[in-house]
Amino acid sequence: MTRTLLDAGVVRHAAVGVLRRNDLGTMTTAAPDLYPHQWSWDAAFVAIGLARVDVPRAVTELRSLLAAQWSTGMVPHIVFAPGTGDYFPGPDRWGTDDAPARPAGYRTSGICQPPVHAIALRHVLDRGKENGGLDALVAREFAAESLDGWLAWHRWLATARDPDGVGLVEIHHSWESGFDNSPRWDGPYSRITAGPVPPFARRDTHHVASVAERPSDEEYTRYLWLVEQMRSVGYDDDRVLDVIDFRVRDVFFSAVLAAAAEVLAGICDEFDRPDDAAEQRGLAARFRAGVSSTVDPATGLARDVDVLAGEWIGPQTVAGFAPLVAGGDAGLLAAQRALLRGPRWMGHPALRYPLPTSTSPVSPDFRPRTYWRGPVWPFLNLLLGWAARRDGADDLHRDLRDASLAQLSDLTFAEYYEPLTGEPLGSHAQAWTAAAALEWLGG
């Protein structure tokens, strides 16, 4: 798109400015007004963007996250920044201080998020190699020192969260999916009767979404109830299974693990660790197969599994395109790409930009202003574009890039966007949105 290409320098300068302003030195806040801490998969995307402009700082982002890894191998979904005031969900809401696996000296949540980190590490290594000199040295040294940590993270997911070896990661909270209030979780949450939970505060400023755009108070009560259940057993992986009211095999999370394990296998090859590489390729194959097994022949979309109810979860959400992230069978991927580009998704005539919505515009669940129930999420477009390029779907990669840059040229770098009007929603100056712009712009 001509306008985007002409404005590339302006977009790059503005995106770098967001990352610099959100920089706490060793970690990047997701968005200062609403998310003043470090989020796990946000940090991975931030590192991808930072690697385009500052490889050592990208390394620091991943290093600071990994430093808070639990002894089990889990990478927590929030690392709380020192010196920040309490807010929901603040450190004292989590009660992880008594969790035996929590690392000393860090305040973290007790749950996780999708494992994009090996993909981020691959980007850092590639940018270091392209730049040469100190950047190459710093990137390789970090990869060597952190490799065991990333392997432990994948192994924890493959054991603690897929104990039956079905190739699908089980999550115990919708926050773990990253798709907090998606229609995917309506069924599981409808069966939860929340007990007493601590009160919570909601912060809203002119930079963040109105309360109406975010999950409801009733939803937050259920969210906190699940945290209370995990707290009650010290976040012990085995004991959580006996008390938790939310057990879902998350197809999109599983797809990210499949993709990340394949990438980590390649990194292991570079560092002469053939046994680890073989292990990761085995995990990638297992979770690719798990993802493929969930595809609904009627809709062509992948589905989650509600473990407690023993039933499929199949609303029309972007998570249904999990096979495009996982990779695998060429026929399945071609069918999914055709579906994604069709009139129920990117090709819907009412969209401001031809980009995937979090819920299909033709779904009865579609809410264009409500968080994961309709809006477009820039970081997710980047992930889908990366996977398209990996699999040789250069036309899809190009179309996602061009439409994304056109959207992001408003320079708000919003958390998410209204799909019909293009209005920026949620918090502005969102770090991973700025990072996505930098990666789309390239070198």
Name the active-site residue from 54, 415, 418, 439: 415
C-alpha span between 413 and 214 (Å, rounded): 18
Q: Given the structure tokens 């660790």, which residue do they identify?
A: 273
Name the active-site residue from 7, 33, 180, 391: 180
Total Cβ atoms within 10 A of residue 307: 18
**214 backbone φψ class: left, alpha, beta (φ>0; ψ -120 to 50):** beta
What residues contact 325, with CB distance under 8 A and at least 6 apart?
Answer: 252, 255, 256, 258, 259, 383, 384, 387
The DSSP string of 141-202 is HHHHHHHHHHHHHHHHHHHHS-TT-SS-EEESSHHHHS-TT-GGGHHHHHT-----------
Nearest C-alpha neighbor of 287 from the set 264, 271, 313, 268: 264
C-alpha span between 325 and 89 (Å, rounded): 30
Which 8-state DSSP code applies to residue 34?
Answer: T
Alpha-carbon distances of 61 from 45, 83, 120, rounded to whole Å: 10, 18, 10
Is residue 423 part of the annotated active site? The answer reads no
Catalytic sites, residue numbers:
180, 415
